[in-house]
Amino acid sequence: MELLIDAQPAPFGFETTRSALIMIDMQRDFLLPGGFGEALGNDVSQLAGCIAPARQLLDWARSVRMSIVHTKEAHAPDLSDCPPAKLQRGAPGKRIGDAGPMGRILIDGEVGSDFVPELAPLAGERVLRKPGKGAFYATDLGDWLARRNVDTLIFAGVTTEVCVQTTMREANDRGYNCLLVEEATASYFPHFKQATLDMVRAQGGIVGWTASLAALTGARETLLAKGRA
């Protein structure tokens, strides 16, 4: 289905069969008390507001049968994929691999590393573990998307200025058309979210486009969508 939606800095046209939703790191470790986000001193309640819009976006992507990728930032239990510099971030006792109320912090397989229940993946949706902030770094995401002939990525998740923006920049450099859904992303620092939206769509969309959830989910197929305006 070809769609043309209201977006910033300009209308955004795409083909749903050549698009993928990239839902970034909607894990307990970032969204709930006791996880990695809180261990770094953040107010995790700042992220709660994006869960419901992200779920609406996910339901829409499922309804149009778009490819869906759920990323999770999580490390191997032996920490072999965690660079020493990353291991040393945060206060002693509250670092990656340390014990927390939801299990070892940011370790794959622990309760904290799993997705919040509202955004649990369904069978057939890709779960992509990534050791970095960007989802292309040290993963097979590029090959996976290429096999599906994907040229457009729709982004949501947390946090806007870290893993979402990093992945969006990686994708932009790889030639994907990238759209960030405004309500379906959040930061511990609302002004960082706003700055990221501004940066993405500045200079004629130097990193991509942003759009409201309603612009996307309310879009109707149109024969006018012949590429980007």
What positions carry a catalytic annotation? 25, 130, 163
Rule CB under 6 A: which of 81-140 touch ligand C5J? 133
Query: Within 10 A of 184 (CB to CB), how many other CB atoms are there?
Result: 29
Q: Concatenated DSSP letters for 58-93?
A: HHHHHHTT-EEEEEEE-B-TT-TTS-HHHHT-SSTT
Amino acid at 185: T
CB of 56 to ligand C5J, least distance (A): 20
Map residues 39-78 to x or -, x wherever contact with ligand C5J holds by CB under 6 A.
Answer: ----------------------------------x-----
Query: Residue 47 or 216: which CB sits closer to ligand C5J?
Result: 47
Q: Amino acid identity of 7?
A: A
Q: Tell me how crowded residue 197 is: count the other CB atoms within 10 A of its CB.
A: 18
Instruction: Please state the closest distance from residue 85 (CB atom) to ligand C5J, in A.
Output: 13
Query: CA–CA separation, 72 vs 42, rounded Å?
Result: 19
Residues listed for the chain: 229
Per-residue binder mask for ligand C5J (CB under 6 A), 13-42, x = binder:
------------x----x------------
Min separation Cβ 84 and ligand C5J, Å: 17
Distance between first and last Cα of the chain:
17
Q: Is residue 106 a contact partner of residue 138, using CB atoms and an 8 Å limit?
A: no
C-beta closer to ligand C5J: residue 7 or 96: 96
Size of the site for ligand C5J (CB under 6 A): 8
Q: How many CA atoms lie within 13 A of 95 on its CB side?
A: 13
Nearer to ligand C5J, 30 or 136 (CB): 30
Nearer to ligand C5J (CB atom), residue 167 or residue 210: 167
Closest distance of CB 221 from ligand C5J, Å: 33
Q: Name residue 170's amino acid.
A: E
Q: How far is the CB of 37 from ligand C5J (least distance, A)?
A: 7
| C-alpha R_g of the chain | 17
Dig out the tokens for 19 from the structure. Answer: 């698009």
Question: If you ran DSSP here, which 8-state letter would residue 208 be given?
Answer: -
Footprint (CB under 6 A) of ligand C5J, residues 153-182 = 158-159, 162-163
Query: Residue 14 or 30: which CB sits closer to ligand C5J?
Result: 30
Q: Enumerate binding residues for ligand C5J (CB under 6 A).
A: 25, 30, 73, 133, 158-159, 162-163
